[in-house]
């Protein structure tokens, strides 16, 4: 089979497997090695040590597969209907939590890896003897956004997301690194122009400059990747963001390409579970370990573990108007088995009590005669 014919057959098979975008690029070293090293040196990776280890492997695909010739890159739409979350933080219900759209259904790793392995089997069968490859979905040392841009799937937005001009940025990425030489696609071209909506909307100022994020300030990092205490000065941003207790979509929600061109996926695996449809914060805070495991089995939310999710819910309750918030926090302070949850519940409880003090004073007889 001719290489062009093989590439077209692989792309057709990828689409049959449910991948919305597909492209091919070469297995060359990254052209952003200097920028990536500078990002790491600035400390912007925070505690995500996996992003700072063995940089030479992350910057050159041939370190992963010595005879690599091509990278097949796929994108899978995970956008679900906007009714499952408000358009802006100001529209959010202060009593309810929000989960990032990517985490509302099943774990995308499980969904995509299985299909990429099936696609790899197809590639090997069609390419013939000697064809090999390796599958990656977000877990290997590969600069996915860069290879996706080179393969024509999208271009970099100022929020650092990969944006497809026709479909927006709600896509999971996956790759097959192979020793089969395939014709490459043209890199994607596009841009944000003068738009700065994502920079302006970020509640913590994590987008420190166009195309550059300090992960240590990003709500996705704070609510998922950070395993310890959330810095006190950043805690109020969780409530101000609309109670984003696992991840954050704000920089995507305000993006014009998403507002105008995102299309809801019909992939069953990515449809929201009941527990991720804006649950009450107090219900999350009351969740036992057994309940957490049951409700989030096979979900990306497992990454934060129960203690991380309840830590985040406690922080969000600091600004809640739920009449049950104070009692739920008091119970967490007294009885929760996790020190991390107790610490953040105590902080939130103090914030609620401080907020109530001025109201009590305003209702006193002295203040009535002002």
- Helices 3-16 + 108-127 axis angle, to 10: 150
Position of tokens 């497997």? 17
| Helix, strand or coil, per DSSP, at residue 249 | coil
317: tokens are 């309750």
Which of the residues 60, 93, 107, 138 is marked catalytic?
138
d(CA 366, CA 156): 59
Q: Which burial class, exposed, middle or buried, applies to 369 when counting CB atoms under 10 A from its CB (0-12, 13-18, 19+)? A: exposed
d(CA 240, CA 247): 14
d(CA 119, CA 76): 14
Long-range contacts of 191-198 (CB under 8 A, 24+ apart): 191/155, 192/157, 192/158, 192/163, 195/158, 195/256, 196/158, 197/254, 197/255, 197/256, 198/157, 198/158, 198/159, 198/250, 198/251, 198/252, 198/254, 198/255
Q: What share of the chain is helix, strand, coil (3-state, %, to 5)?
A: 50, 10, 40
Query: Which residue from 181, 191, 198, 217 is spatially nearest to 68, judged by alpha carbons?
Result: 181
d(CA 262, CA 255): 10
Q: Is residue 138 among the annotated active site residues?
A: yes
SS (H, E, C) 95-120: CECEECHHHCCCCHHHHHHHHHHHHH
CB 245 within 8 A of CB 301: no
d(CA 133, CA 31): 23
Catalytic residue positions, numbered? 138
């Amino acid at each position: 089979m001719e290489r062009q014919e093989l590439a077209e057959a692989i792309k057709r098979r990828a689409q049959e497997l449910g991948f919305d975008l597909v492209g091919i690029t070469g297995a060359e070293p990254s052209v952003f090695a200097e920028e990536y090293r500078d990002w790491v040196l600035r400390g912007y990776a925070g505690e995500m040590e996996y992003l700072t280890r063995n940089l030479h492997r992350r910057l050159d695909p041939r370190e992963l597969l010595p005879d690599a010739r091509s990278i097949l890159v796929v994108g899978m739409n995970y956008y679900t209907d906007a009714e499952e979350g408000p358009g802006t933080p100001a529209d959010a219900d202060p009593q309810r939590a929000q989960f990032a759209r990517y985490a509302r259904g099943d774990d995308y790793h499980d969904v995509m890896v299985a299909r990429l392995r099936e696609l790899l089997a197809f590639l090997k069968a069609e390419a013939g003897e000697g064809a090999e490859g390796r599958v990656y979905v977000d877990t290997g040392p590969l600069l996915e956004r860069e290879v996706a841009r080179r393969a024509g799937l999208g271009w970099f937005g100022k929020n650092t997301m990969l944006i497809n001009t026709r479909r927006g940025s709600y896509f999971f990425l996956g790759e097959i690194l192979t020793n089969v030489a395939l014709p490459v696609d043209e890199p994607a071209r596009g841009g944000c122009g003068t738009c700065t909506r994502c920079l302006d909307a970020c509640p913590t100022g994590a987008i420190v400059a166009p195309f550059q994020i300090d992960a240590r300030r990003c709500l996705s990092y704070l609510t998922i990747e950070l395993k310890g205490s959330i810095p006190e000065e950043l805690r109020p941003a969780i409530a101000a963001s609309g109670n984003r207790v696992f991840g954050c979509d704000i920089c995507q929600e305000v993006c014009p390409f998403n507002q105008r061109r995102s299309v809801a996926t019909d992939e069953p695996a990515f449809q929201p579970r009941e527990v991720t449809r804006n649950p009450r914060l107090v219900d999350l805070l009351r969740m036992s370990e057994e309940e957490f495991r049951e409700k989030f089995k096979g979900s990306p939310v497992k990454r934060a573990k129960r203690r991380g999710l309840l830590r985040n819910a406690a922080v969000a309750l600091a600004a809640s108007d739920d009449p049950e918030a104070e009692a739920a926090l008091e119970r967490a302070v007294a009885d929760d088995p996790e020190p991390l949850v107790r610490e953040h519940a105590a902080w939130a409880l103090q914030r609620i009590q401080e907020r109530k003090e001025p109201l009590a004073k305003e209702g006193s007889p002295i203040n009535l005669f002002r």
